[in-house]
């Protein structure tokens, strides 16, 4: 009997639990335990609608325990603070909500914790101790909605306002979520007849518009190479959104953002409402060896993300598809896997830059949503391989798998719009596709109502699938 | 933005809420997504 512990229950961890349970059904008396600090699964892509008051946070969530009870998976509500990976006695230490700790033994562990939202990295960033909003968690999105609707109320009385949306640090990621938010805000203000009272500004660390942390994308159309930069520039021109890119946020005061850009220019922008995505780092988990030594720096990268089977240490210009991890297995402890945001990427997807004073400015790689699911699935199936005495054989490299993204711009059935984006593969792979690093015949980017339908369909399809309802395995 | 690209964007923008065009695009994009998803499942 094998004991498998999954730490985290987001896209990677929760989907891995479902895949593991299904793959091990009838193949021995194995024990799967999921440990999550949040007792609910949240479909994060829909938080953009929560953030403008068009959806309640509860509509993006479901309770994990009933799903795990149905499937025979153990569930512990708690926060993993230590992993003891040495073979003699392998266990994780969990802080429980009642203040007690619990040690949970494992034969295989999958770390899929998602990010720690690093608001303290920038003075004044974030809704708790700062002056900006976030849509990264249900409570944050709900608070953002409340602040946004307060502003709308002022606009209705005839006031004017400045809104800034984007990234709140030179190394932030998830530009796509911020893009969705600014587009939804624009369209909401248009529908309310208030758009002419608002200056909307996009502030981001991207080296170019439409980079999205994935080095942008190209598609072929009638002999033209059409890029995501062309698309986003056009959309912002149509929407009357001004932009300031290649920028790090130095600090935020009440109503004012201080930035530094790649040319070394320091600027200030005033705002009445701002939503800035924070930088991510790993959830704080210590790795302890059998002698009690802290070996976190051996197992993880400096940000705390778990090292897996990637080629680390290459400069950006030399990094290519084969350097990205395929099996999500730790090279030191072979029974340790990491998936989703928790695995350490070998480098950025977008070209990194530095301001003249050395401040790094450039998106870190997104590995959320579908990419997280695929890495979680590969790790889960590799654990099954090892339980049954085989070498891990399942792969889901970001340089060999597609990125599928539908960026909502307006959530209406008969009047909505969204940018539908497909890339193959996510990470440029010049070894396989020498010219662009991607197969342009499989890349697509377009704006239209069809995307809005997809976005809504994906919301319901994923929430159905991830509750393991009848036929869930048919939904990829 | 080059003229060819602007024409393409104008064309896409002008039909972005045309229900007939979008029904067709939903089928085309749906099949495209399905093709990509099948590569990894």
**Do the domain assignments include residue A447?**
no
pLDDT of residue A195: 98
ipTM (interface predicted TM) = 0.95
A226 → closest Cβ in B8, B26, B35: B8
| Residue A49 · residue A408 · CB < 8 Å | yes
Q: Inform me whether the pLDDT recorded for B3 exceeds 80.
A: no
B22 → closest Cβ in A222, A233, A448: A448
**Do the domain assignments include residue A215?**
no
| Residue A136 · residue A260 · CB < 8 Å | no
Model confidence at B1, pLDDT cuts 50, 70, 90, reads low
- On chain A, the residues whose CB falls within 8 A of the CB of B1 are 230, 233-234
- On chain A, the residues whose CB falls within 8 A of the CB of B35 are 442
Q: Is B6 on the interface with A (CB under 8 A)?
A: yes
How far is it, in rounded angstroms, from Cα A235 to Cα A238? 5
Cis peptide before A103 (omega within 30 of 0): no
Closest chain A residue to B38, measured at CA: A476
| Residue A278 · residue A115 · CB < 8 Å | no
Q: Supply the CATH number for residue A101's domain.
A: 3.50.50.60
**Do the domain assignments include residue A438?**
no
Number of domains comprising chain A: 1
User: A97 to chain B nearest CA, in Å?
Assistant: 38
Structure tokens at A350: 């977008």
**What is the percent of chain B where pLDDT is above 70?**
95
**Do the domain assignments include residue A27?**
yes
Is the Cβ pair A238, B13 closer than 8 Å? yes
Q: Is B31 on the interface with A (CB under 8 A)?
A: no
The contacts of residue A235 (CB under 8 Å, 6+ apart) are: A183, A241, A409, A419, A447
Is the Cβ pair A450, B9 closer than 8 Å? no
Q: What is the pTM of this model?
A: 0.96
Is the Cβ pair A447, B13 closer than 8 Å? yes
**Do the domain assignments include residue A415?**
no
Q: Which of B3, B16, B23 to mutate to test the interface with A (most CBs of A within 10 A)?
A: B16
Rounded mean pLDDT for each run of 10 residues along chain A, 476 residues in total: 97 98 93 97 97 98 98 98 95 98 98 96 97 98 98 98 98 96 98 98 98 95 88 97 98 98 98 98 96 97 96 96 98 98 97 97 91 96 97 97 95 96 96 96 94 96 97 91
pLDDT of residue B39: 81
pLDDT of residue B41: 67
Which residues on adjacent β-strands are paired with residue A447? A419
**Do the domain assignments include residue A29?**
yes
**Do the domain assignments include residue A173?**
no
pLDDT of residue A476: 86
Closest chain B residue to A446, measured at CA: B12
**Do the domain assignments include residue A286?**
yes
Domain, as residue range, for A370: 3-117+280-387
Phi-psi region of A240 (alpha: psi -120 to 50; beta: other; left: phi over 0): left
Q: What is the 3-class SS of A315-372, one letter each residue?
A: CHHHCCHHHCCCCCECCCCCCEEECHHHECCCCCCCCCEECCCCCEECCCCCCCHHHH
Q: Which residue has the tokens 């939903």?
A: B26
- On chain B, the residues whose CB falls within 8 A of the CB of A444 are 29, 32
């Amino acid at each position: 009997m094998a004991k498998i512990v999954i730490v985290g229950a987001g896209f990677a961890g929760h989907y891995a639990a479902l895949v593991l349970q299904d793959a091990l059904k009838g193949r021995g008396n194995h024990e799967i335990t999921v440990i999550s600090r949040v007792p609910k699964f949240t479909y994060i892509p829909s938080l953009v609608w929560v953030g403008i008051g068009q959806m309640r946070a509860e509509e993006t969530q479901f309770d994990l325990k009933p799903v795990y009870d149905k499937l025979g998976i153990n569930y512990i509500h708690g926060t993993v603070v230590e992993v003891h990976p040495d073979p003699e006695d392998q266990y994780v230490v969990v802080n429980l909500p009642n203040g007690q700790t619990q040690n949970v033994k494992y034969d295989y562990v999958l770390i899929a914790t998602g990010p720690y939202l690093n608001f303290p990295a920038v003075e004044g960033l974030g809704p708790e101790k700062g002056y900006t909003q976030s849509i990264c968690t249900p409570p944050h999105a709900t608070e953002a909605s409340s602040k946004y609707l307060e502003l709308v109320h002022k606009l209705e009385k005839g006031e004017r306002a400045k809104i800034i949306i984007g990234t709140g640090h030179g190394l932030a990621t998830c530009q796509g979520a911020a893009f969705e938010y600014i587009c939804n805000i624009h369209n909401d203000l248009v529908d309310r007849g208030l758009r002419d009272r608002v200056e909307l500004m996009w502030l981001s660390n991207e080296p170019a518009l439409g980079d999205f942390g994935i080095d942008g994308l190209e598609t072929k159309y009638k002999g033209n190479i059409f890029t995501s930069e062309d698309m986003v520039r056009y959309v912002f021109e149509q929407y009357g959104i001004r932009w300031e890119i290649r920028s790090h946020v130095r600090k935020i005061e009440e109503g004012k953002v201080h930035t530094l850009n790649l040319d070394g220019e320091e600027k200030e922008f005033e705002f009445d409402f701002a939503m800035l995505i924070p930088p991510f780092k790993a959830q704080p988990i210590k790795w302890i060896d059998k002698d009690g030594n802290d070996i976190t720096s051996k197992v993880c990268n400096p940000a705390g993300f778990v090292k897996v089977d990637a080629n680390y240490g290459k400069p950006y210009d030399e990094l290519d598809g084969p350097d990205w991890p395929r099996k999500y297995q730790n090279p030191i402890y072979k029974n340790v896997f990491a998936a989703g945001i928790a695995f350490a990427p070998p480098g950025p997807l977008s070209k990194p830059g530095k301001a003249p004073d050395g401040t790094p400015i450039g998106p870190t790689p997104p590995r959320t949503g579908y990419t997280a699911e695929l890495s979680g699935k590969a790790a889960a199936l590799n654990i099954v391989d090892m339980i049954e005495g085989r070498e891990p054989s399942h792969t889901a490299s970001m340089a060999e798998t597609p990125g599928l993204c539908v960026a909502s711009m307006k959530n209406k059935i008969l009047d909505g719009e969204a940018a539908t984006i497909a890339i193959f593969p996510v990470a440029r792979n010049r070894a396989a596709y020498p010219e662009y690093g991607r197969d342009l015949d499989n890349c697509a980017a377009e704006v239209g109502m069809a995307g809005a339908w997809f976005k809504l369909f994906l919301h319901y399809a994923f929430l159905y699938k991830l509750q393991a309802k009848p036929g869930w395995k048919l939904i990829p | 933005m080059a003229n060819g690209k602007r024409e393409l964007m104008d064309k896409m923008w002008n039909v972005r809420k045309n229900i007939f065009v979008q029904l067709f695009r939903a089928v085309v994009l749906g099949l495209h997504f399905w093709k990509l998803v099948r590569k990894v499942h």
